Structure 1
């Protein structure tokens, strides 16, 4: 039996084709989910499989309904999956002060849902290629990103200040005067009820010495003490 005859036989058996789509979706979702699981992200192996399989199922059902009823839009349910994924993706995003974590996982969930829709539509070849590119992006490009930022001088400080809300503005103004790029800033009230701990991470500009930045911060009103967490002392 030729390959074209074999594919025609599969396509002529809706239940068999639907089974293949579901299995492929489980495989694709599992591959992406396994990568997220290994880096301890909130949405891992099982979540990605469920999302991809459900999206493939919805799209497959929508196509079958459209073939039976001419009034049914074959893309309507798939569009609802794409928009609805925003709610699930939002659950993986964690906001900590001024920083946001989980955006890559949220984007991955949305992309996995799109992979499921592609599989459910019968575009398995496209879905597999897209999965490989997504996996390459998650695994390899993170190493490339770290390599590109290796030469940068990153500093993290804990700045202890009084409770005045102006202290955050003072810190940002001082760092801005030295052309430092702020990467993270978070404020936590301390148990004594009289001071805050402001955690700030920034990238030193070319030619700027961190000692000069620290000296300027120490001189500002309301700054109690500064603890160097990592980076140039």
Structure 2
């Protein structure tokens, strides 16, 4: 049987791992943040600890496999991940956050089972994946004067090297303005372009007003 200190260590480490990945999501203003990821990791660790502690009680029965509880965590985490996925028009958000919740559950199970190297290694690789391979993606909406707005000028200004524009929509806002919305995907060379720089470039067009930029 595990001593209480070992149980506490596994739970605390699971909380730290979940919090680390949750921090990365929270700083980008995604739906599931630090507390959600912490709770998922802690809950998964508790389930794995419970399975290990009670395995001896059911020896010789169909319920003697401690991994069965962990398997239910992996299959059940889908409902939480589904809550972070949102579809707006032709774009889908939240897939990465849903994946991080699933990964955190797996890391929590590893920590609960006492597999520290697997849990910490998985955490480090996950953070590298989230931090290094994030390609900037922005949702941009603005008002454009119908008399002076040139969509070609706008596209030319934002067509940075390796960048792509998708989900472009344009509709009449009132007698003088059009509502323009699109998604901008920056390439590897533009991954350091800031939101303020994009705002400055778009605002430099005289016929553009009320620019809104959201990182997605």
TM-score (norm 1): 0.61
Which residue pairs with 2:73 in the alignment?
81
Give the Cα–Cα distance (whole angstroms) in 2 for the partners of residues 17 and 102 of structure 1: 35
1:64 aligns with 2:44: no
1:118 aligns with 2:128: no
Give the Cα–Cα distance (whole angstroms) in 2 for the partners of residues 53 and 59 of structure 1: 10
Give the Cα–Cα distance (whole angstroms) in 1 for the partners of residues 58 and 181 of structure 2: 60
Give the Cα–Cα distance (whole angstroms) in 1 for the partners of residues 117 and 36 of structure 2: 23
Runs of 4 or more, structure 1, over 4 Å off, are 197-203
Q: Where is the helix percentage greater, Structure 1 or Structure 2?
A: 1
Structure 1 residue corresponding to 2:17, chosen from 25, 28, 34: 28
- Change beyond 3 A, Cα 1:150–1:131: farther
Structure 1 residue corresponding to 2:170, chosen from 159, 162, 166: 159
- Once the two structures are superposed, the pairs formed by residues 177-196 of structure 1 within 5 Å of their partners are none
Structure 1 residue corresponding to 2:120, chosen from 117, 125, 128: 128
Q: Tell me the CA shift for residue 51 of structure 1.
A: 0.3
Q: Secondary structure at 1:40's aligned position in 2?
A: coil
Q: Tell me, which stretches of 5 or more residues in structure 1 are unaligned? A: 1-11, 162-189, 192-196, 204-226
Q: Tell me the CA shift for residue 20 of structure 1.
A: 1.1
Q: Tell me the CA shift for residue 14 of structure 1.
A: 2.8
Q: Tell me, which stretches of 5 or more residues in structure 2 are unaligned? A: 137-158, 186-207, 212-216
Q: Tell me the CA shift for residue 201 of structure 1.
A: 5.2
Give the Cα–Cα distance (whole angstroms) in 2 for the partners of residues 153 and 129 of structure 1: 33
The structure number with the bigger radius of gyration is: 1
Which residue pairs with 2:40 in the alignment?
51
